[in-house]
Structure 1
């Protein structure tokens, strides 16, 4: 027993140390200065996390002015995250999407409206049955103007609904593109049970309640 106690103390020390290091690393991400992605060929980029990226990708691609939505990971403190690693909840990353859009057609403010209109704004660490920090809601800002838009819309929605809005607000740092098989998942796997029972109903709920003039005829 005496031999075991020092070993347990040793393990607990490094376990706590690793946890503290992880928390410190995540806090550094939250407190960092945002990275701004320049407009290229008239197209801007924006980043959102809102549950399963299969769902979010399809929602944004249904909107006029959105050229492409790419699934990936963002918001964490580890490099080169994978689907398996992010699902452990220990990387700090959330499933996210990179939105490539034409700011002359759709504004960043409208993209934020789409974000809030397409989710349960009160659910912490998940959407629906997808639960865990990897599914948490995060809006990423690249500059102070975007941060102001996000915070104003979040505060306004909280006042309007009389609820606490779960979405976190992070400075954008880096977007890691997800594995190839995740891209355009809803389009490529329309008969997948998750797509049929979760993604498509979520997309249809969004489309039913969003101004039709802002939506594409098809996506």
Structure 2
């Protein structure tokens, strides 16, 4: 009798887990199949959104690019409202650590920002960059209209052909950027002695700078 009860409990637990996972999957499919949201310009500046591993690293990369006026760290690509750093780290929100890049399109094009994106990462690493692993660190390029999607798809296909490998970055219609906590903003600038910054962020930034010196400030 005891073994039967244990078996029933186990079956129930698996059933609940599968139901929860299916619901999460359905919600995430709604995100990836949604109509993209186009963000209006503010004071003559445009906005673009990217996820590529730890946002501290990505923020530093884009802030080094001519025409980029500001970069904010946050979360995007998921189905959960008001995500936090702690919730994102569970991998259950659907969100990835992402950046909002505010730029002058007269100085730097969206196309160049996509080039920066691929030049500053390991494009074949799935669900992470460097030592950071998990769906919250996956690579995503967000498009706001058909023109941006075409640019992303073309460059992704060309890179796959060049490397003769599958490119891990996903392509999502942009929905919403959730601003990250204050202590995550300008993290590399404010914490240059942090071991992660010293051993991961700065080497990644310097590697990018060697690849694309012509776009640097």
- TM-score between both structures, scaled by the size of structure 1: 0.96
**What is the deviation of 1:166?**
0.7
Name 1:123's counterpart in structure 2.
Answer: 125
The one of 44, 47, 59 aligned to 2:46: 44
CA distance in 2, matches of 1:9, 1:51: 36
Name 1:68's counterpart in structure 2.
Answer: 70
Three-state SS of the structure 1 residue aligned to 2:39 is coil
Three-state SS of the structure 1 residue aligned to 2:199 is helix
Query: Gaps (5+ residues) in structure 1?
Result: none
CA distance in 2, matches of 1:12, 1:109: 46
Query: Gaps (5+ residues) in structure 2?
Result: none
Three-state SS of the structure 1 residue aligned to 2:150 is helix
Three-state SS of the structure 1 residue aligned to 2:99 is strand
The one of 67, 85, 88 aligned to 2:87: 85
Say if 2:163 is the partner of 1:161: yes
1:168-179 equivalences in 2 (<5 Å): 168-179=170-181
Three-state SS of the structure 1 residue aligned to 2:26 is helix
CA distance in 2, matches of 1:73, 1:128: 19
Three-state SS of the structure 2 residue aligned to 1:70 is strand
Name 1:110's counterpart in structure 2.
Answer: 112
Three-state SS of the structure 2 residue aligned to 1:99 is strand
| Count of matched residue pairs | 215
Q: Which consecutive segments of 4 or more residues in structure 1 shift more than 6 A?
A: none
Name 1:22's counterpart in structure 2.
Answer: 24
**What is the deviation of 1:160?**
1.4
**What is the deviation of 1:13?**
2.0
Say if 2:137 is the partner of 1:142: no
**What is the deviation of 1:12?**
2.4
**What is the deviation of 1:193?**
0.4
**What is the deviation of 1:15?**
1.6
CA distance in 1, matches of 2:15, 2:135: 25
Name 1:133's counterpart in structure 2.
Answer: 135
| Coordinate RMSD, CA, aligned | 1.0
Per-residue CA deviation, residues 12-55 of structure 1 (Å, 9 max, x unaligned), is 22221111000111111111110110111110000000000000
**What is the deviation of 1:164?**
1.0
**What is the deviation of 1:61?**
0.3
Deviates more, 1:168-177 or 1:157-166: 157-166
Three-state SS of the structure 2 residue aligned to 1:33 is coil
